[in-house]
Amino acid sequence: MKTLGTKFLLGLLLMLACSIGYAAQDAGFKSLFNGKDLAGWVGKPELWSVQDGTIQGKTTKENPLKGNTFLVYTNHEVRDFELRLSYKIVGGNSGIQYRSKVVDSNNWVVAGYQADFEAGKTFSGILYEERARGILAQRGQKTVIEDDNGKPKIMVTGTLGKSEDIQAKIKNEDWNDYVVIAKGNHFQHFINGTQTVDVTDNQEAKAAKSGIVALQLHAGAPMTVQFRNIRIKEVK
């Protein structure tokens, strides 16, 4: 009994230490999702819901999407920030929009920077600009974007590692942690603690300084995507 009591006490102390550690790591962060309903978010209600404390977007074979649609956070826009969340995806492609804008409120279509992820093995972690300049950095790349007579000139200036090595750290059909940091014209994405891209956007006329956060459901094959622990902190 004494041994069991000691093990129980040690277990409680370990849980307490972990809780304190997580609280310290998240100091200054504001939650964007209450875990109960979609208060503060807007999108197509037939596609988005709260399931088991997560935001869930789902399409089916009987209810396919012909175009990408988004769940938009409406309480405030973001500028310089660190965003943290966890995601799980089964089938299809999704992403986290930031410094973006709504271009069609009837179908909740959004344009702007996107921290991409998918059920496949190629695009998770890239920086994609939805309805604009397209892929601004492939996974594992450091890039600088310059203006070339109104067109983007994307220069690869370094590497963060091999794409396949980064992919090997991403869990299939399971929860993964995503971090997005935007400061000025500098953007960084991380999945499960591994940096996936590093982008400096010097194309002044195209580089968004602020905008909304949104979550994507992609057109095409049936898919289910879930998000939890969505929180954000302003950075200077």
pLDDT in tens, 97-126: 999 999 999 999 999 999 999 999 999 999
Contacts of 217 (CB under 8 A, 6+ apart): 47, 48, 57, 58, 59, 65, 68, 69, 70, 71, 92, 94, 223, 225
Q: What CA–CA distance (Å, rounded) separates 65 from 124?
A: 21
DSSP strands (E only) in the chain: 30-31, 41-42, 48-51, 54-59, 69-73, 81-90, 93-104, 109-118, 127-130, 134-137, 141-148, 151-159, 176-183, 186-191, 194-201, 212-217, 223-234
pLDDT, one tens digit per residue, over 207-220 is 999 999 999 999 99
The pLDDT of residue 26 is: 83
Cα–Cα distances (Å) from 74 to 25, 36, 58, 79, 102, in that order, read: 26, 17, 21, 14, 11
- Please give the backbone phi and psi of residue 14, each rounded to the nearest 5 degrees, phi first: -65, -45
Q: What are phi and psi of 42, to 5 degrees?
A: -140, 140
pTM equals 0.90
For residue 64, give the DSSP letter. -
- As given in the structure block, the two tokens for residue 52 are 């088991």
| CA 105 to centroid of chain Cα atoms | 21
Provide the pLDDT for residue 1.
Answer: 47
In this prediction, residue 5 carries a pLDDT of 60
Q: Is the pLDDT of residue 165 over 50?
A: yes
- HSE at residue 22, side-chain half, CA atoms within 13 A, is 9
Instruction: List, for residues 21-70, the tens digit of each pLDDT value.
Output: 444 468 899 999 999 999 999 999 999 999 999 999 999 999 889 999 99
What is the residue whose two structure tokens read 């982008």? 199
Does 32-234 carry CATH code 2.60.120.560?
A: yes
